[in-house]
Amino acid sequence: MKPSPSAFTTRDLLSALLVVIIWGTNFVAMKVGLRELTPFQLGAARYVFAILPLIFFVRPPKLAPKWVIAYGLSQGVGQFGLLFLSLKVGMSASLASVILQTQVFFTAIFGFMLLKEHTSRALMAGLLLAAVGLGCFATSAMQSGHAIDITPGGFVLCLAGAAMWAVSNIVVRRAQKETPNFDVISFIVWCGAVPIIPFVLLSLAFDDPTTRWTWMAAPPVTWVAVAYIGWISTIAGYAMWTRLLKRHPVNRVAPFSLGVPVVGIASGMLMLGDTIGAWQWAGTALIVAALICTMFGGRWLDRQA
């Protein structure tokens, strides 16, 4: 008997778990890439790898160019540019994987302000928990004892990256709403071409001139990390995630994203030797609790009612 569209097959479950692993370890790859490349160089390299060679085989998306440009700038230069800067100036891979998940709450706030979307009691409770969790991270960032793992600048930049991720989510929603037969893969590939030139220009404007050509002498491990970020995390990860969203309701797929910070913390500690202090563990627990409350709190409240 053929499974219903809402039933998770073994292949679906393995795909979801693989995406969680890919996106969780993605932060380690970013840290490795930043050992030899500047944040702007890594940004340009990431998207060169992401679009090649697919851009020669995938047709341009059939939608207004403004959505391609808006998404490319907000998700590419905004989210990842700020994230790479954060990881460079003072943010561990482990903690970045947690703080970046606050994009869920920024998306909800922007959705309410710009799209007039409904705000539930579960979401409000989640926002409150997340705010307290961010307060814990801010406290940790202000303590000199944790300066290696998280600094005020790194914390603010990572949080700004999460906000820009939320902006890109709003752009996608608007683009999907205005475009029949929205092709996600075509959209992702062609949007990936947008950030390359801005990243190159930012590198020329702000990077130390002595670092502009150091990428040519980067060791193989650097390019393996870039390929992982560009091909595996961006193309393969989003393709598998999109396939799951097409086959199953969002509320069945979204909870798997809770595993990303778990994998991110574990991989950062095991591969990079990240250390996490008491305030950081408290902030992590609160943000994860906020995500759980947002995803499952509505069902619990409905049952109570």
Residue 76 maps to a domain? yes
Residue-level pLDDT at 2: 44
Q: Is the pLDDT of residue 6 over 70?
A: no
Residue range 251-292, pLDDT digits in tens: 677 778 778 888 999 999 999 988 888 888 998 899 888 888
Question: Residue 104 is part of which domain span?
Answer: 24-205+228-302
Helix axes 39-51, 196-206, angle to 10 degrees: 160
pLDDT of residue 147: 52
Q: With the C-alpha atoms ordered 26, 242, 128, 297, is the resulting torsion angle positive or negative?
A: negative
Q: What is the mean pLDDT of the chain?
A: 86
The proportion of the chain whose per-residue pLDDT surpasses 70, expressed as a percent, equals 90
Query: What pLDDT score does 274 carry?
Result: 87
- Highest average pLDDT, of 47-61, 234-248, 272-286, comes from 47-61
Q: Is residue 58 part of a domain?
A: yes
Alpha carbon distance 275, 291 (integer Å): 23
3-class secondary structure, 218: coil
Give the mean pLDDT of 128-143. Answer: 85
State mean pLDDT over 203-225: 91
Q: Is residue 211 a part of any domain in this protein?
A: no
Residue 196 is predicted with a pLDDT of 96
pLDDT at 144 > cutoff 70:
no
Question: Is residue 202 scored above 80 in pLDDT?
Answer: yes
What total of structural domains would you count in the chain?
1
Is residue 95 domain-resident?
A: yes
pLDDT score of 240 more than 50: yes
At 239, the pLDDT band (50, 70, 90 cuts) reads confident
| In a domain? residue 193 | yes
14 lies in a domain? no
Asked, for residue 54, whether it belongs to a domain, the answer is yes
Q: Is residue 219 part of a domain?
A: no
